[in-house]
C-alpha cells in the first residue's frame, strides 16, 4: 500500500527544501509578528471605542482569536527555522526527531483552526459592526445630557472628543441632534417662556432645538460656529441651511467609525490570509522533510533517494475499514432484532 501524496527527494532537492524552508519559516515569523501587531492595534481601538458599541456586540472576539492564531504562527515559524537548519547537520537533527511530529500536529490543528476561525470572523465583522455602532451611538447621543447621572457622567466628554477627533457629527448627520434633548435640564431656565413652550409642545416633555453641540463645528470654517436655529433660513445672514457642511462636520459618526474599523479589520484579514498561506507551506514542507529524513535515519546527505509523504502507507485503507466497521456495528444483527419482530422467513420453493 502506497503512502498518501508521496514525493521522491534526491540529495540536492532535499538540501534545497531544507534551505527554502529556513527562509520561508523566517518569513512566517515576520508576517506572524505583523499580524500580532495588527490584532493588538484593532483590539486597542475597539477598547477605546467600546462606549459607542452595543454591549452585546462581540467584535472583540476577532482580534482576540487573531492574537492567538498569530502567536501560534509565530511559534510555527520559529520551530520551522530551527528544524530546517538542524536537518542540514546530522549532529543537530536527532533532538528534533522526537518532537517534530507532535509539533506538526499541534501547528496544523491548533494554528490552522484558529486562522480559519479568525478569517471567518473577519468576513462577518462588517455586519456585526454596523449593528453595534447603530445601537451604541444611539445610546451615547441619548446620554449626552446626563452629566450628573452615575455611570453616564463621562458620556458628554467622550462624545465631544469623538466628534472632534473623527470629524463627525451625530449618528448619521447633524440633524440627529434635532430629535433628542442634549441640553441638561439643569441648564434650562424654567421661567423662560420659550423653554416652557418647547417642553409643553413635546409629547415626551423634552426640550428639542434645531441646534448641535460645539464639537460638531468645523474649525476650518471661515465664519464663527453656528450651533442654533440651523433650520431657519433667516436666522443667520449669508448662511444656507441646505449647505451646512461649510460650518459643521459633513459625515455622521456611524459612517466614519464603520469605515475606520472596517479598514483595520480588512488589513487584519489580509494579514491572516497571508499567514495562513505561509503556515500551510511551512507545515507541508516540514512534513515532507521529516518523512524523507526518517527514511534515511535522520541524515540529510544519506545515500540514495528518499521518499517524503503526508500520511503513511495504509492510512486511507485504515480509515475506510474503520468507517465500514462502524457502519456494520450500527446495523443490528438478526439475532439482536427487537422483540416482537420476527426475522424474515425464507419462502419455500413452489412445486
Whether 131 and 23 map to the same domain: the answer is: yes
With 0-12 CB in 10 A as exposed, 13-18 as middle and 19+ as buried, what is 63? buried
Share of the chain above pLDDT 90, in %: 28
Place of cell 441648564: 187
Confirm whether 1 is domain-assigned: no
CA angle 38, 44, 49 (to 5 degrees): 125
Non-local CB neighbours of 121 within 8 Å, separated by 6+ positions: 61, 62, 65, 66
Q: How many CB atoms lie within 10 A of CB 186?
A: 8
Confirm whether 27 is domain-assigned: yes
Average pLDDT over residues 58-85: 88
Backbone dihedral region for residue 297 (phi beyond 0: left; psi -120 to 50: alpha; all else: beta)? left
Confidence of residue 278 (pLDDT cuts 50, 70, 90): very high
Range of the domain at 207: 178-233
Average pLDDT over residues 311-330: 57
Cell numbers at 15, concatenated: 538540501
225-254 residue pLDDT tens: 888 887 777 766 666 655 655 678 889 999
Whether 226 and 262 map to the same domain: the answer is: no
Whether 220 and 82 map to the same domain: the answer is: no
Average pLDDT over residues 48-52: 90
Whether 102 and 20 map to the same domain: the answer is: yes
The number of folded domains in the chain is 2
Confirm whether 145 is domain-assigned: no
Whether 229 and 265 map to the same domain: the answer is: no
122-181 residue pLDDT tens: 888 878 888 999 999 999 999 998 888 887 888 999 999 999 999 999 999 999 999 999
Amino acid at each position: 500500500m502506497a503512502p498518501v501524496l508521496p514525493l521522491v527527494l534526491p540529495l540536492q532537492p532535499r538540501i534545497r527544501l531544507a534551505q527554502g524552508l529556513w527562509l520561508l519559516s523566517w518569513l512566517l515569523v515576520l508576517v506572524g509578528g505583523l499580524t500580532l501587531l495588527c490584532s493588538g492595534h484593532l483590539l486597542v481601538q475597539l477598547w477605546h471605542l467600546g462606549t459607542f458599541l452595543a454591549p452585546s456586540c462581540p467584535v472583540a472576539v476577532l482580534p482576540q482569536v487573531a492574537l492567538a492564531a498569530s502567536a501560534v504562527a509565530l511559534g510555527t515559524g520559529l520551530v520551522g527555522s530551527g528544524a530546517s537548519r538542524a536537518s542540514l547537520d546530522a549532529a543537530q537533527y536527532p533532538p528534533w526527531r522526537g518532537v517534530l511530529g507532535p509539533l506538526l500536529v499541534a501547528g496544523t490543528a491548533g494554528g490552522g483552526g484558529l486562522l480559519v476561525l479568525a478569517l471567518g470572523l473577519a468576513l462577518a465583522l462588517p455586519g456585526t459592526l454596523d449593528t453595534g455602532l447603530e445601537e451604541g451611538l444611539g445610546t451615547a447621543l441619548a446620554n449626552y445630557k446626563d452629566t450628573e447621572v452615575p455611570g453616564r457622567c463621562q458620556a458628554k466628554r467622550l462624545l465631544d472628543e469623538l466628534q472632534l477627533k473623527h470629524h463627525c457629527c451625530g449618528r448619521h448627520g447633524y440633524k440627529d441632534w434635532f430629535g433628542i434633548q442634549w441640553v441638561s435640564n439643569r441648564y434650562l431656565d424654567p421661567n423662560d417662556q420659550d423653554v416652557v413652550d418647547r417642553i409643553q409642545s413635546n409629547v415626551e416633555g423634552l426640550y428639542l432645538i434645531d441646534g448641535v453641540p460645539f464639537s460638531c463645528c468645523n474649525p476650518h470654517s471661515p465664519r464663527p460656529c453656528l450651533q442654533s436655529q440651523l433650520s431657519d433660513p433667516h436666522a443667520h445672514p449669508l448662511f444656507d441651511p441646505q449647505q451646512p457642511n461649510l460650518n459643521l462636520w459633513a459625515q455622521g459618526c456611524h459612517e466614519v467609525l464603520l469605515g475606520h474599523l472596517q479598514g483595520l479589520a480588512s488589513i487584519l484579514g489580509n494579514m491572516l490570509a497571508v499567514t495562513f498561506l505561509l503556515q500551510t507551506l511551512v507545515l507541508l514542507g516540514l512534513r515532507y522533510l521529516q518523512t524523507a529524513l526518517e527514511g534515511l535515519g535522520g541524515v540529510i546527505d544519506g545515500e540514495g533517494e528518499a521518499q517524503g509523504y503526508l500520511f503513511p502507507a495504509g492510512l486511507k485503507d485504515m480509515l475506510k475499514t474503520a468507517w465500514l466497521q462502524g457502519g456494520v456495528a450500527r446495523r443490528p444483527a438478526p439475532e439482536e432484532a427487537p422483540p416482537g419482530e420476527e426475522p424474515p422467513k425464507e419462502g419455500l420453493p413452489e412445486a
